[in-house]
Structure 1
């Protein structure tokens, strides 16, 4: 049996044409949506969500393409090729087809806004880890009237990430470059040894292996094994259309209007850049904190994360 967050109800909620999300819901009060990262599912929030459900409505979906949520293919989207490159002519007066490519963070962010509205919430706080943090970042830029507070766990905005990764330090992000390649080879290579590939990150990105027990690890690997094409498509979008969207916001001077908390492990100095400064350029109302743990901080340091989220909502 696939593990679940104890005490949470599960629903499938339609959020777009042909796309429904698997979501765990519990609690009452001010709504908070929690978005998972790679290579995980909503289960990564099991401790934090249970804690916060004491005084908040907690909404924990699997992102499109992950877990038990629907996994549309890139070819389901007319007008774009597999890389998210526009096959239509851009206009000066409106968005192009690529603005809503299947795994553009803009599309995935729209899923989350639609999910919250379907559950009766027009405004909500949003926290994301890793890939989910990129979706949360895009949601906050695209829907500032909807996102009241934003928390980002252990990631940089896509545009900044590609700009700071260089030289031998970029080896830690080899998977970013692999999954950015055109369709075919990345999917074949990963599918041929998916447990080893996804398990590699579960192993090297955690300081405390006990934080991800065997049943949860198995659930993560099972979910990823069934989602190789969509996971690759998510990453491929971040080497293409997501950069375009971030650059457009930077050029326009768009910034995050809500209180923002960024939590990261102590990796900024080691990689040769100032993560807090990069985030401050996007978020005038920023609180940047270092958490002593590995990448999977919601599982390794759940009490610290829940405390930080509660503090964020008081701002």
Structure 2
């Protein structure tokens, strides 16, 4: 069963007083941290990580609340704020001896990466975001019937109780739905990896919901404060997205450029799970970014 990245060591790394992350690490050279999305674990990087490890130190954690990492109860809005999760990643890198590192994230992990770039600019040398928009822009462009594609954002934004109960009652169907409809090539996620994603998500419903709930609240507040202050992602940034703009009526590259003036924006024909569906394409983008 494919539950580890071949050739990588597995570590438990404390990053906060009540949070230890499950981490796969391999390779040597300049460091890059890879953050997974929903409803996945660090395993989504298995192809990309092995390639990059030929000449980079590659660090693939499960985010707090996901996979085999700790899942603290959401005591307040900040427990799963992207600011808190970004601080986890900076602390993780430092625990492993890296004060400055490149950072790439997919989906939820990309939101954490963006927050890390805004909050810790001295620590992040390069930043990549796969198939997501910054939180503030995401909520701004969702409207009318087109917002139905993001029904899960609205469900998990509700107060604690009902979303957790509804999702837990049919967890495999809920999480499996996204694995099915967001993939252009379902074979890119083999049965054993899919089973691992479903198992991990089934065991993490409260923390996953808390992560999404934060993005409908405190994360928006943090983005608004940065926009008002004129804070930008000053490091080289690469973004890879599906062609959402054509369907939803907005210019994705322009939205990103307002946050990241040193931007390379790419549109892919792969599905949402592009690091698994088109790993060669993603490796090329990341290697190009690291040379900037």
* Structure-1-length-normalised TM-score: 0.92
What residue number does 2:179 align with? 202
Off by >6 Å, runs of 4+ in structure 1:
none
Question: Could you say which residue in structure 1 is the equivalent of 2:44?
Answer: 44
Once the two structures are superposed, residues 106-146 of structure 1 have per-residue CA deviations (whole angstroms, 9 ceiling, x without a partner) of: 00000000000000000000000000000000000000000
Q: Aligned-pair distance for 1:254?
A: 0.4
Q: Is 1:234 the counterpart of 2:211 in the alignment?
A: yes
1:2 shift after superposition: 6.3
Match of 1:19 in 2: 19
Secondary structure of 2:177 counterpart: helix
Distance in 2 (CA, whole Å) between partners of 1:216 and 1:16 is: 29
Task: Give the count of matched residue pairs.
Answer: 292
SS of the aligned residue for 2:20 comes to strand
Q: What is the match of residue 201 of structure 2?
A: 224
Partner of residue 139, structure 2: 162
2:245 pairs with 256, 268, 274, which one? 268
What is the aligned partner in structure 1 of residue 275 from structure 2?
A: 298
1:259 and 1:268 map into 2 onto residues whose CA distance is 23
How is 1:72-83 mapped onto 2 (pairs within 5 angstroms)? 72-75=72-75, 80=76
Distance 1:285 1:231 in 2: 32
Change (3 A) 1:2 1:18: farther
Distance in 2 between residues matched to 1:199 and 1:298, nearest whole Å:
18
In 2, the alpha carbon distance for the partners of 1:26 and 1:160 equals 35
Map Cα deviations across residues 15-34 of structure 1 (whole Å, 9 max, x no partner).
00010000000000010000
CA distance in 1, matches of 2:84, 2:93: 15
2:270 is paired with a residue whose SS is coil
What SS is found at the alignment partner of 2:79? coil
Aligned twin of 1:65:
65
- Structure 1 Cα separation of the partners of residues 245 and 209 of structure 2: 26
Q: Which residue pairs with 1:145 in the alignment?
A: 122
Aligned equivalents of 1:273, 1:304: Cα separation in 2: 24
Residues 1:191 and 2:159 aligned together: no
Structure 1 residues 257-292: Cα deviation after superposition (integer angstroms, max 9, x where no partner): 100000001222111111100000000100000111
1:28 aligns with 2:28: yes
* 1:106 pairs with 2:83: yes
TM-score, normalised via structure 2 length: 0.99
In structure 2, runs of 5+ residues without a counterpart are none
Using the TM superposition, give the Cα deviation of residue 36 of structure 1 relative to its aligned residue in structure 2, in angstroms. Answer: 0.1
Within 2, Cα distance between the matches of 1:2 and 1:309?
24
CA deviation map 1:56-109 (0-9, x unaligned):
00000000000000000112xxxx3xxx2xxxxxxxxxxxxxxxx100000000
SS, match of residue 144 in structure 1: coil
Partner of 1:252: 229
CA RMSD of aligned residues (A): 0.7
Aligned to 2:3: 3
In the alignment, the residues of structure 1 paired with residue 89 and residue 245 of structure 2 have an alpha-carbon distance, to the nearest angstrom, of 29
